[in-house]
A and B are shown apart, each in its own frame.
Chain A
Amino acid sequence: MKTSSSYTAIAYLFLAPALILMGIFTFWPVGFNTYLAFQDYSLADGTSTWNNFAHFKYIAGEELFHNALKNSVLYLLIVPVIQLSALIVAKLVNNKLPAMTFFRAVYYIPVITAISIAAVVWSNVYKYDGLLSWFLQALHILPQGQDGQIDWLGNPHIALYMVMLFTFWKGIGYYMVLYLAGLQAIPAEVEEAAILDGANVFQRFWKITVPMVKPTILLCTLLCTIAAMKAFQEVVVLTKGQSDTYTALFYVYDQGFGSNHNFGRAAAAGVVVTFFCMILAIIQFRFFGDKK
């Protein structure tokens, strides 16, 4: 029989690759990022000097960063919309009728498409004479002819919402699958009994489905909230920040890898975003911590 100290050695040996890689690429960046936030970093020679909170003072007064934060908060509007739609769609495909596997797979296609590739097609949908203008004109929501043709991604008042619509399209399948798992745990008898009692579709949805998948709703809402706060790849591939679509992380990306290569300022903005994500994480632990 082996002693427990030899188990310790083996355990750490097996864990070593994961811990080393996570150390370098996940934990170290958090510390280094915080350090960089207080430094003027020169990309050319890799030197950095203390700058007495200059980056934080700068972004605290910069309108571009304020707008980016405001847009990230606006982005949270997408959370309830995705959750309600995903739950309804999951409910529609959660049965033994024909072709349900097909529909589930079709709804998942946007999730498994590369964001950059999907964005190329969507930027054509959003063109002024593209699919979206035509569709709304065909429904007579927009006036016919030139007047009804809108440059959806070029107009600062609506561009951010168009980016959000893209996020909705890309993400709903993911949450649908999570809800499907929650729905499949509900015994069929509960709903059958409600049908016998004469409850209609809406009553059954609000009084049975929603309460019974409440844990899944909480989980998905938190996942989706964190994802919405971190949204920026959509912006990179759709608008590149034009038309007032900066989000908080897009600001980080743009400061670091855009034209000015200001890694220190990007890191300072990143620290602000990390701080907000930490607050969300604490809320998440409050919700789920005691149940596990």
Chain B
Amino acid sequence: MALGKNLRRSIALGGQYAGLIAFAIFTTFPFVWALSVALSADPSHIWDFPRSFLPTDISLMWFERVFKEMPFMTYLKNSTLMSFWTIVAVVVISVLAGYPLARLRFPGRGLIFVGIIATLMLPSEVNIIPNFITLRNFGMAASHLQEVLHLPDDWNMREWIGLNSYFGAIVPNFATAFGIFLMKQAFEQIPQDLIDAARVDGATELQIMWRVLVPVSAPSIAALAIFTLVNAWNDYLWPSIVMTGKEKLPLAVGVFNDLTGPFATSTSLVMAAIVMTVVPVLIFFAFTQRYFVSNLSGAVK
């Protein structure tokens, strides 16, 4: 009887792990194949399954060729720049907006909060048309200003805030309902005594926020920053519409355009570029993955 029970339990456990491994293969097989192809100096086996899951003649030559044949470092620089400023803007705006919604009483609070949450229901993808026109107008206003003020021609202010500008490619992502909601939730957890004590000491609202609320909510802010980084790094559609010049493209757009365009001469080269694009995200994710789980769990509650 005892033996039968143990046997049953180990069969169940084996079945569970078999399911887990099968599903892990489903989620990772494209990347495993890409890695193996990228590492193989000899491309003759890449369509020869399952042989192609093991690299032939391991070498890094395809990675070197990616650097030579694609402006990979330019894309990397653009992605870094755009992600960095998106994180700064999202965190500052969400913290600023979260504080009054969580801790201050003022007329219109309920309405503003409902309005912000309502944006989650709108299909934001439809906004690409009006936002494109808005940015074009921004650019025209900027170049008009440049003319009026007789600023030097080579400043090209149209491309500072209009189409084909870093600013234009990231600015619609700055104010997000998710970020404001997350910071509001975090600030609501803080005991009122802490805020009252600071107020008695004569602190201004900005000081209360910066000296009291922000340090205590550091984990939530970190979670928001990490979440924003991944979204900004992976953003494909909007930058692909706004950016017209190749020299300003982020990785997700530049690598895709190069790999599906006329440069895509060799599958090995393509896969090497893919691996190089995915690996930084994976390394970052490996260190921060607990934030993703806790972050989303918080959103559900």
Contact = CB atoms under 8 A, between A and B. Distances in A.
Contacts of A284: 121
Contacts, number: 256
Q: Is the interface of A mostly helix, strand, loop or mixed?
A: helix
Interface in A21-60: 21-22, 24-30, 32-33, 36, 46
A246 interface: no
A4 B119 CA distance: 28
Interface in B117-161: 118-119, 121-134, 136-137
B296 interface: yes
Contacts of B297: 177-178, 180-181, 184
A75 interface: no
Interface in B201-259: 205, 209, 230, 233-237, 240-241, 251-253, 255-256, 259
Contact of B104 (A11, A29, A134): A11
B275 to A, nearest CB: 10
A237 interface: yes
B7 interface: no
Contacts of B109: 11
B129 A18 contact: no
Interface residues of B, number: 90
Contact of B237 (A119, A182, A236): A236
Contacts of B251: 114, 117
A22 B122 CA distance: 12
Contact of B292 (A19, A22, A138, A177): A177
A107 B104 CA distance: 41
Interface of B: 12-13, 16, 19-20, 23-24, 26-31, 33-34, 47, 49-50, 92-94, 96-97, 99-101, 104-107, 109, 112, 116, 118-119, 121-134, 136-137, 171-172, 174-175, 180, 205, 209, 230, 233-237, 240-241, 251-253, 255-256, 259-260, 267, 270-271, 274, 277-278, 281-282, 285-286, 289, 292-293, 296-297, 300-301
Given A104-B289, A105-B289, 14 more contacts: A25-B171, A103-B23, A105-B286, A107-B23, A108-B292, A113-B234, A113-B281, A114-B277, A114-B281, A124-B267, A131-B49, A178-B296, A226-B121, A257-B132
Interface of A: 4, 7-8, 10-12, 14-15, 17-19, 21-22, 24-30, 32-33, 36, 46, 89, 92-93, 97, 101, 103-110, 112-122, 124-125, 129-131, 134-135, 138, 169, 172-174, 177-178, 180-182, 184, 201, 216, 219, 226, 229-230, 232-233, 236-237, 249, 252-253, 256-257, 263, 266-267, 270-271, 273-274, 277-278, 280-281, 284
